[in-house]
Structure 1
Amino acid sequence: MKYETLFIMVRVAVHADHEQLSDIVHEIETQSKLTLSDTANVNVLETEILLSRVRNFKNINHGTQPKL
């Protein structure tokens, strides 16, 4: 069996009671769980939440993001 590290990107929309984005990120990193299940040919050994970029949803709706 081959061992590999895969990076899976997910998008998560949240509603939070926190005022500061840093508080939201901290709570997600420390208390949320990410679950992936084994498949017939793959055993999931470990998962970890990695937050590396945060976009402001209001900016996306107002056209301030560059168009691709």
Structure 2
Amino acid sequence: MRYETIFIMARVAVHADHTNLGDIVHEIETQSKLTLSDTANINILETEILVSRVRNIKNINHGTQPEL
């Protein structure tokens, strides 16, 4: 069996009680769970949340959320 590292990026929209973006990211990184299951040919050895980029809410607001 071959060992590889695969980077998976996930987009997650959240509604949070925090007002500070840093607090939101920290809580997601330390307390959220990302679950991937083994398949017939792949055993998942380890996962972690990697935050690489945060977009401005104005860029993704489509009129369904109030302006911040």
Shorter-chain TM range is: 0.7 to 0.9
Percent of aligned positions with the same letter in both sequences? 84
- Segments of 4+ moved more than 2 angstroms: 59-62
Write the distance in 1 (CA, Å) between the matches of 2:61 and 2:29. Answer: 26
Within 5 A, what are the aligned runs for 1:36-51? 36-51=36-51
Deviation of 1:61 (Å): 3.8
Q: Which amino acid aligns with 2:15?
A: H
Q: How many residues align?
A: 62
CA RMSD, Structure 1 to Structure 2 (Å): 1.3
Q: Which TM-score applies when normalising by structure 2?
A: 0.85
**Structure 2 SS opposite 1:45:** coil
For normalisation by structure 1, the TM-score amounts to 0.85
